[in-house]
Structure 1
Amino acid sequence: MKYQTRKKALILLADGTIFHGKSVGDKEGTAFGEVCFNTGTTGYQEIFTDPSYFGQLMVTTNAHIGNYGTAKEEVESESIKIAGLICRNFSYEYSRATADKSLLEFLEANDLLAISDVDTRALVSYIRDNGAMNAVISTEVDNISELKKQLAEVPSMEGLELASKVSTKEVYTVGDENADLKIAALDIGIKKNILRNLVKRGAFVKVFPYDASFADMAAFDPDGYFISNGPGDPEPLTAAIETAKQMIASGRPLFGICLGHQIIALANGVSTYKMHNGHRGINHPVLNLLSGKGEITSQNHGFAINREETEAHQDLEITHVHLNDKTVAGMRMKDAPVFSVQYHPEASPGPHDAEYLFDQFFDSIKKAVLI
């Protein structure tokens, strides 16, 4: 085997706990971020390129990673967004006929540090008990004291604004400019499959940077507004919160996903908080309170909105709840065409139980256009 002499590596958590592993491939070095885990058994390429994971060290709970390689069409952004990868068994070979390269080649092309041969069961169990925290992965196993010093300087995810790191720098459009409907999307970490879902339903979408003003977005004269998913703490995104307030006041339909859901909550005066270890996976159970139906959903978030404040809010109604911990998974405004969810109806990866939410958004737009 080519990589028989892989270097020793370690994971050092902020509380001083250490887990051991080995380097993946020839890459050496050090990477910092908040350690988190995803329970999905497939979809690693989509996960690694999801902007919502920016600044995080990803632990994959599936025992084997890389066995089906990578494919160009299975990316959710233009590059890998995770800060580093931690796994149990790394597959250097792949067997999928439609793949265009191995996962190792994909990681090397994106200059990402990965470590394997880690007891990920023990690591995930520790995170579940002690919460998501900052960590460092490194092949510098004999320099722990220096790693501790550097790790202490890494800012906490709580209070950290990251949307500016992943948002588009320039306005761009997708879809047919002659489409019947126009949607203005605020990009605070948008996934490509969200845009695909909007376009395939007949929308011409104009995508704006995270700090775009409402005036700039309104000048497009859209039939509806959309606020995307994204990384980091929502509270520092004051410009996006103000823009969301004006979107709501415009009376035009508004749909928010994940970080967008949190921004809409903050625009309504509902606070957010950092969760113990967040929800990250493709099998999270959600109950639709309006239909009484259950949904298996794809989720990726470390913050949530305050349930008590949402329940007490005279203008808001909770529409979905997470069945594991009863956190708010969806809400809508009672007297405005505004709704949002704390999960990913576009999936990629994950099930498509919640894709109807895009249809719901388009139904609200069409209804508003006819008025």
Structure 2
Amino acid sequence: MINILLINLGCKLGIFKLLIKNNYFIYEFKKQINIKHLMKIDGVFISNGPGNPFKYIKFYNIILFFMYIKTPIISICLGHQILGILNNFSFFKLKNGHHGVNHPIFNKHNKKLFISSQNHNFNLKNNNKKNFNNAYYSLFDKTIQSINSINQPIYSFQGHPEGCSGPNDLLSFFNFYNKIYEK
């Protein structure tokens, strides 16, 4: 079983269900974690949540620690924004936020269109092209919707791929760790 550290910033029940469905054992991190558990972590999942990512600075050091030791990290929505900030992406408030369940997201690498659920007012600027491959972007306003590190196993998505009461085009997102640890 793959051990996942869930950094819970306001995680929905649907995310817990999908992580469990993919046979991950979840350690939830809210304020602190036992050092014994840290040694067992195979991957980190940074959840969605409300508000401005700078309000969650207390979580930055634990995320940086796992980036430093090259632990696979995936994140969504607010977690995506935090991961971007920690990887030197610029950050800005959208004039009109992205809200709702029918947001067209395009993958420029495989030329596929996905429908996504979105609920955020902030976004990352695509200014870290040297170390990241940003495949997904919004067809509404061309904002980036994912970051994928070229040098380490880091992947994030701006929307809500969990598909609870919304589109489920991107559920394969939750199979990330299984792909890394395939035997």
Letter in 2 for 1:286: I
Give the corresponding residue for 1:202.
23
1:163-222 CA-to-partner distances (Å, cap 9, x unmatched) read xxxxxxxxxxxxxxxxx111110001111101100101111111111x447x75962511
How high is the sequence identity, in percent, across the aligned residues? 32
Q: CA RMSD in A?
A: 1.8
Alpha-carbon distance in 2 for matches of 1:299, 1:217: 36
Alignment of 1:68-217 (within 5 A): 180-209=1-30, 211-212=31-32, 216=35
The one-letter amino acid of 1:352's match is N
Q: Which residue of 1 aligns with 2:150?
A: 334
Residue pair 2:2, 2:177 contacting (<8 A) in 1 also: no
TM-score (norm 2): 0.93
Greater strand share, 1 or 2?
2
Q: Which amino acid aligns with 1:355?
A: L
Following TM superposition, by how much is the alpha carbon of 1:239 offset from its aligned partner in structure 2, in angstroms? 2.1
1:272 aligns with one of 76, 81, 91: 91
Structure 1 stretches (4+) deviating beyond 4 angstroms?
215-218
Deviation of 1:281 (Å) = 0.6
SS at match of 2:44: strand
1:273 alignment partner, SS class:
strand
Instruction: Output the CA distance in 2 between the equivalents of 1:338 and 1:332.
Output: 6
Equivalent-residue separation in structure 1 for 2:178 and 2:36 (angstroms)? 19
- Secondary structure of the residue aligned to 2:145 is strand
Aligned amino acid, residue 329 of structure 1: Q
Among candidates 222, 226, 233, match of residue 52 of structure 2? 233
CA deviations on 1:233-254 (whole Å, 9 max, x unpaired) are: 1023222222222111121211
Q: Which has the higher contact order (CA 8 A, sep 6+)?
A: 2
Aligned equivalent of 1:310: 128
Residue 135 of structure 2 aligns to a residue whose secondary structure is: strand
Q: What is the distance in 2 between the residues matched to 1:219 and 1:247?
A: 10
Q: How far, CA to CA, are the matches of 1:342 and 1:362 in structure 2?
A: 21
Number of equivalenced pairs? 183
Unaligned 5+ runs, structure 1: 1-179
User: Structure 2 matches for 1:222-301, cutoff 5 A?
Assistant: 222-301=41-120
In 1: Cα distance, 2:124 partner to 2:70 partner: 23
- How far apart, in 2, do the equivalents of 1:320 and 1:218 lie? 34
CA distance in 2, matches of 1:205, 1:217: 14
Q: Over alpha carbons, which structure has the higher Rg?
A: 1
Asked if the contact 2:88/2:128 (under 8 Å) is kept, the reply is no
Q: Secondary structure at the match of 2:10?
A: coil
CA contact (8 A) 1:240 1:263 kept: no
Change (3 A) 1:217 1:334: farther
